[in-house]
Amino acid sequence: MRILTVCLGNICRSPYAACVLAQDGGAAVRARSAGLIDMWVGMPAHPNMIAVAADRGYDLSAHRAVQVRPGLMEWADVVLAMDRAVLTELRRLTDKATAHKLALFLDDRDVLDPYGGDDEAFTACAATIEEGAPRHLP
C-alpha cells in the first residue's frame, strides 16, 4: 500500500504521519509526505516535531520537505489530507485519475497544525496522528 500524507508546509504533520504509517505498517506500507506550499521545500522537519518524534520512537531526522505534485499523487494508492483546508486545495489539484484517492486523515476532524505552538501542541499533534494512523493500515 502506498500512502501520501499532505499538510500545508510538510514540516510538521504530514512528515510525522508518513513516518508513523511507514513504521507501524511495516513492509506492507510505503508512505511519503508533501506540502501544499513551497516555502520550506528542502528544509528538515520542524525541530519540535523531530524531538517529539524521537521521544515517541520515530525518526524524522532525514526528512526534507517537498511540495505536492501530480506524480506523487499518481504514485499513491491513497492521499490523506491532514485537515479540511488541505483537502479542499488538493481537490483543486487533482484530475479524474487521482480524485478518488483523496481522503481526510481523520474522517471526522482535522489534525491541528502545531506550527507556532508550544511543546504541548506538538505532543498533542503527534498523539492525534498516532491515534488515527491504524485506520489506514492493512
Which is the catalytic residue, given 12, 13, 32, 83?
13
Rg (CA), the chain: 13
At residue 130, the 3 state secondary structure works out as helix
The active-site residue, picked from 7, 12, 19, 125, is: 7
| Residue 134 grid coordinates | 491504524
d(CA 3, CA 137): 9
CA distance 40 to 46: 10
CB 132 within 8 A of CB 22: no
- Is 7 catalytic? The answer is yes
Residue 83 known to be catalytic: no
* Candidates 32, 83, 113, 125; catalytic one: 113
Catalytic residue set: 7, 13, 113
